[in-house]
Chain A
Amino acid sequence: NAGVTQTPKFQVLKTGQSMTLQCAQDMNHEYMSWYRQDPGMGLRLIHYSVGAGITDQGEVPNGYNVSRSTTEDFPLRLLSAAPSQTSVYFCASSYSGQETQYFGPGTRLLVL
């Protein structure tokens, strides 16, 4: 099992550019989530999904879109990057009814 994988590991964008952060898991988990981590602020939930075709907003959804067409994949799209979106992004997955979230290695994003 590869667990939760994320690509790319690092990315530099210019303000206004768009991009998609990829997340995939091979554990057949129903739940998947996207978090951003900024210094001193812990992890903040952006969007989450409880199954294929079902997504919902977290604490900080503005500027981000998600979709869940398959159980395995949960991409995060930045529509028009802003410097405030400079952060480390983590994808996580878990089984329905279990509390353990498995995190991917993260994507470090710098928006200039």
Chain B
Amino acid sequence: GQSLEQPSEVTAVEGAIVQINCTYQTSGFYGLSWYQQHDGGAPTFLSYNALDGLEETGRFSSFLSRSDSYGYLLLQELQMKDSASYFCAVKTGGFKTIFGAGTRLFVKA
């Protein structure tokens, strides 16, 4: 079967750094994406890694290790508005994308 594992909840303090991990087991792999979803809203794209290494976009960075089937999303200088759910997603063969169950991030003042 295909599976993506990520923690169900993470709590951090405003201004801190938090890392959300994702491990995957899929029949095909083209790349790892991250999406953010606020309560009641639609998922919005954050980042995509097709190759090993770190991609940085402002306060957010994403890392991929294909040999370890592992990636993470790093959020720096946390703000209250970062409280949301974060999903990792793997693009598999046949133009399909498989999503993880999501990590709920709580940012405390």
Contacts and interface: CB of A to CB of B under 8 A. Distances in A.
Interface of A: 31, 33, 35, 40-45, 48, 50, 56, 58-59, 90, 92, 99-106
Given A103-B43, A103-B44, A45 B97 contact: yes
Contacts of B31: 99
Interface of B: 4, 8, 31, 33, 35, 41-45, 48, 50, 87, 89, 91, 94-102
B45 A50 contact: no
A92 B91 CA distance: 14
Nearest to B104: A40
Contact of A101 (B45, B50, B102): B45
Contacts of A41: 101
A105 B96 contact: no
A42 B99 CA distance: 6
The majority secondary structure among interface residues of chain A is strand
B98 A56 contact: no
A59 B101 contact: no
Contacts of B97: 33, 45, 101
Contacts of B87: 42-43
Contacts of B98: 45, 59
B48 A99 contact: yes
Contacts of A106: 42
Contact of A104 (B35, B42, B45): B42
Contact of A48 (B48, B95, B102): B95
Given A103-B43, A103-B44, A40 B33 contact: no
